Structure 1
Amino acid sequence: MGSDARAPGGARSLTFRVLLLASLWSMVALVVIALVISTLYRRSAESSFQDLLRAQLYNVINSVSIDENRALTGVPQLGDLRFSQPQTGWYWIVEPIGDSFPSEPLTSTSLGFGSIPIPDTETIPFDTRYERYYTAEDTFGNTVEVVETEVVLDQDGRTARFRVAGNRNVLEDDIQAFSRNFYIALAGFGFGSLCLNAAAILIGLKPLDHVRKSLEQIRAGQAERLGGVFPREIQPLASEVNALIDTNRRIIERARMQVGNLAHSLKTPIAVLLNESRVLDAPHGDLVRNQAEAMQSQVQSYLNRARIAAQRESVLARTEAAPVLQRLARVMRRLNADIDFPLTVEPEDLMLAMEQQDIEEVVGNLLENAARYANRTVAVRATLAPEEGDAGDPQRRRWIVLEVEDDGPGLEPHEIQEALKRGKRLDESKPGTGLGLSIVREITSEYQGTLTLSRGESGGLLARLVLPAVAKDVA
């Protein structure tokens, strides 16, 4: 009736493990997807930003030329107000290179008196299209992305440097806005996916829960087989469990048949010995009769133990307590008219996980023993003991406490130990073989129960049995 250390409930739950693994995988997948898509969007946004600057650069190139005074001239119209508004970070600049012609640079209105530093070409060289891109900081503190190229403007080789700059903060704000909205949408999608996964897993594992409930019903004696239609993956398990139950039942029936055959084969020889003992002279007749009766009781005891051992692991043994106890009390009242046998069963639907004949053997011996020494009353009480184990533990046990108390002289502690010994009789003046209490203890122990003797409140002997109960909380 003790309990062993077990792993936490979550670690033993298949549903918990599947949900945990699915959730972890979904979280990892969503994080990876978020990083990949964010990176790809950044690359695409940067490439589009550079393409826009390049297009504006060529618009400026097409709008600028050299006049007859060998000065740069032209008014580029880029169609973007940011090139006209001051300090926006959107600029275009055209500068003469070398001393080929003394001209002032042309700049957009947005640059005003500001400037953008030019890195060395060795640090950032031109590419195959004779363009280069770099990031710089203008006079006003804006971080700008610059595209630059050099163009020969006339046949005399006069060359100018063309630069178009765009505010990089605009690009970063766009990327951050996309990432923020994307992460919110992805989080909502992830939460919805987790809920759908959880629902799918719970629905998918529902047949296993049905199997569990069916097994609990079998253990409680409310069913004999796993019933219902199961999925293809679970059907072999259900078939094997049903086959195991059938095998268990056949073993029990075979053991019972063999016990019956043995009892039948021993019945006649023992009866012959008892009959012969009656015609023998004393003291030999008494000796043979006593030994034959003892042999008969011991054989019956061991036959009971063999039968109980054969069916002990059966999940189908169950007997309603109240009718059996009421019938035994009625029999004892007829045999002992001067003794009262009050009976209490709480609750009334108590169900013992024992064979009916074993209950009758155990309680009958206790009642006979109590009636033999009682003055006026033998009280019988059956109650449900507090539950053992966790509420979700499928292996938890429930027990019924059955007490038989008489108002006789009772026993002292040292006498209780002697009374439990096989064949020991404390009062030779009373009839019996001295095997009753030992048989009760043996049958009780076969069902993993206990028998204790003590002095009751009335001063007589109190026999307390703890016997296995059928679980009543099966769904």
Structure 2
Amino acid sequence: MIIRSVTARVLLLATVWSAVALVVISIVITTLYRQSAERAFTDLLRAQLYNVINSVSIGDDNNIAGSPQLGDLRFSQPETGWYWIIEPLGTFASQPLSSSSLGASNIAVPTILKVPFNNRYERFYPATDAYENNVLVAETEVVLDGEGRAARFRVSGNLNVVEEDTAAFNRSLYIALVIFGVCSLVVNGAAILFGLRPLDEARRALEKVRRGQAERLEGEFPREIRPLAVETNALIESNRRIVERARMQVGNLAHSLKTPIAVLLNESRLLDKGHSELVRGQAEAMQGQVQSYLNRARIAAQRESLLARTEVEPVLERLVRVMRRLNPEKDFELIVAPGGLALAMEQQDVEETIGNLLENAARHSELAVTLTASTGEAPEGAEPGKKNWIEIIVEDDGPGLEPDEIKEAMKRGRRLDESKPGTGLGLSIVREITSEYQGQVELSRGVRGGLRARLVLPAVVKDAA
């Protein structure tokens, strides 16, 4: 699964790295502590061993004599695993001595081949006593007098002491590492969110540009993000220049073609009736085609602009006001809900599209025309989630159209009612402009029997992506 969020990626990597690091640290520390505890245990046994050696001698009865006092009660308590043992070697005929904790039992002695002495003539080996205690034995052999009489000295300690000490240390270590890990994740998360805040500020600045609230990215950005902001501002400026250049070229072309077409229309009046109608019809068709393709070129240049924005309510109020003035005998009702709707279109295209629908409705209505604007669903075939949409409905109380008449009405230059003035281009212009903005136009019979024109047009995205 691909993680799309940079914050989530960094937090995930930081979490994984922290977890791995803490596990490795815990293993290293526990290993080092166990080794240290085992060395300390060995040193303790060595010290006790030499205390025993220094506490005995050969008495007058030629037996080993002495009473080692090691300062540890465990050597006097039975079954503790803490023992000291003194055994005569060779021809030295003496009674062995042992601590009271050993009782009548003994600890097996491994051969020298199995556990050799070190350079200090000591050896340490694990063993199990008669009470199933795991013990570590420290052993050495010492000559007790000038006659060469020697004895084996052994001191053992219970290895459970090392295990318990290590386990207690591990518990404390794990608790400390967990607390440290959690605190580190919180601090890392806060640091990452704080470090990525400039990206969020850049996103908000770009959102303002998209909404039309600003013309460029504004704000103080860190050194790493500043080049991105500079390049984005350069792209916006380039986009603006392209739009202005396209507008200028469209205007120039329209101006250069307007005069020749007007001349053709004027000259057509001087011809005989048959030729006049032919020339005039072709000139008007050429004029319509030129205007149509000029509109397409202009819209294509504007459609990709980040700054295309038109407030819906003021434009519709102005259009309705004009229609009321031109048609005082008819009632025009305007409903815009919710307020603050904005189309991602140039104002000229909005006015031409809605104006054509209102003019057509006013021409064929009996008494009333209703204009409604609201948020709407994406048109059929649009990619979901990419844009917001606004639905605009123009409905009249006229005779309306049948389904087959609706198809004819959408064709360029087709007029179903020759008794009314017009060119037959209005609905086709609406369809072309709507299509260029990737919107949709639908004609149907309204609830009052008249024509119902429904437009679905792209809206300015107001919420952050």
2:425 paired with 1:425: no
Contact in 2 for aligned 1:367/1:404 (Cα 8 Å)? yes
- Of 343, 346, 349, the residue aligned with 2:334 is 343
Partner of 1:58: 50
Write out aligned runs for 1:20-419 (5 A). 20-98=12-90, 100-386=91-377, 396-419=386-409
**Matches of 1:208 and 1:225, distance apart in 2:** 16
1:85 CA drift (Å): 2.4
Q: Which amino acid aligns with 1:468?
A: P
**Matches of 1:124 and 1:387, distance apart in 2:** 86
Give deviations 1:335-366, integer Å, cap 9, x for gaps.
Answer: 22222211111112111111110001101111
Contact in 2 for aligned 1:305/1:446 (Cα 8 Å)? yes
**Matches of 1:339 and 1:281, distance apart in 2:** 41
Partner of 2:447: 457
**Matches of 2:176 and 2:415, distance apart in 1:** 85
1:427 CA drift (Å): 2.6
Flag the 1:45–1:387 CA change in 2: closer, same or farther, 3 A.
farther
Q: Which amino acid aligns with 1:401?
A: E
Partner of 1:4: none
**Matches of 2:202 and 2:340, distance apart in 1:** 26
- Which piece of structure 1 moves more, 80-89 or 304-313? 80-89
**Matches of 1:327 and 1:215, distance apart in 2:** 31
Query: What are the ranges of 5 or more consecutive residues in structure 2 without an aligned counterpart?
Result: none
TM-score, normalization by structure 1 = 0.93
SS across alignment from 1:425: coil
Contact in 2 for aligned 1:217/1:474 (Cα 8 Å)? no
**Matches of 2:377 and 2:450, distance apart in 1:** 26
SS across alignment from 1:465: strand
- Which piece of structure 1 moves more, 209-218 or 279-288? 279-288
Contact in 2 for aligned 1:411/1:454 (Cα 8 Å)? yes
**Matches of 1:303 and 1:361, distance apart in 2:** 14
Q: Which amino acid aligns with 1:40?
A: L
Q: Which amino acid aligns with 1:84?
A: S
1:446 CA drift (Å): 1.1
Contact in 2 for aligned 1:60/1:76 (Cα 8 Å)? yes
Q: What is the Cα-based RMSD across aligned positions, in Å? A: 1.9
Flag the 1:387–1:36 CA change in 2: closer, same or farther, 3 A.
farther
Contact in 2 for aligned 1:56/1:78 (Cα 8 Å)? yes
Contact in 1 for aligned 2:378/2:456 (Cα 8 Å)? no
- Which piece of structure 1 moves more, 118-127 or 201-210? 118-127
1:383 CA drift (Å): 0.4
Contact in 1 for aligned 2:378/2:384 (Cα 8 Å)? no
2:9 paired with 1:17: yes
- Which piece of structure 1 moves more, 69-78 or 258-267? 69-78
**Matches of 2:265 and 2:373, distance apart in 1:** 38
**Matches of 1:375 and 1:387, distance apart in 2:** 32
Contact in 2 for aligned 1:220/1:474 (Cα 8 Å)? no
2:429 paired with 1:439: yes
1:415 CA drift (Å): 1.9
TM-score, normalization by structure 2 = 0.95
1:395 CA drift (Å): 6.6
Give deviations 1:271-316, integer Å, cap 9, x for gaps.
Answer: 2222223344424333333333332222222111111111111111
Partner of 1:3: none
**Matches of 1:387 and 1:258, distance apart in 2:** 33
SS across alignment from 1:428: coil
**Matches of 1:244 and 1:233, distance apart in 2:** 18
Q: Which amino acid aligns with 1:322?
A: E
**Percent identity (aligned):** 68
**Matches of 1:180 and 1:452, distance apart in 2:** 73
SS across alignment from 1:12: coil
**Matches of 1:376 and 1:209, distance apart in 2:** 53
- Which piece of structure 1 moves more, 105-114 or 244-253? 105-114
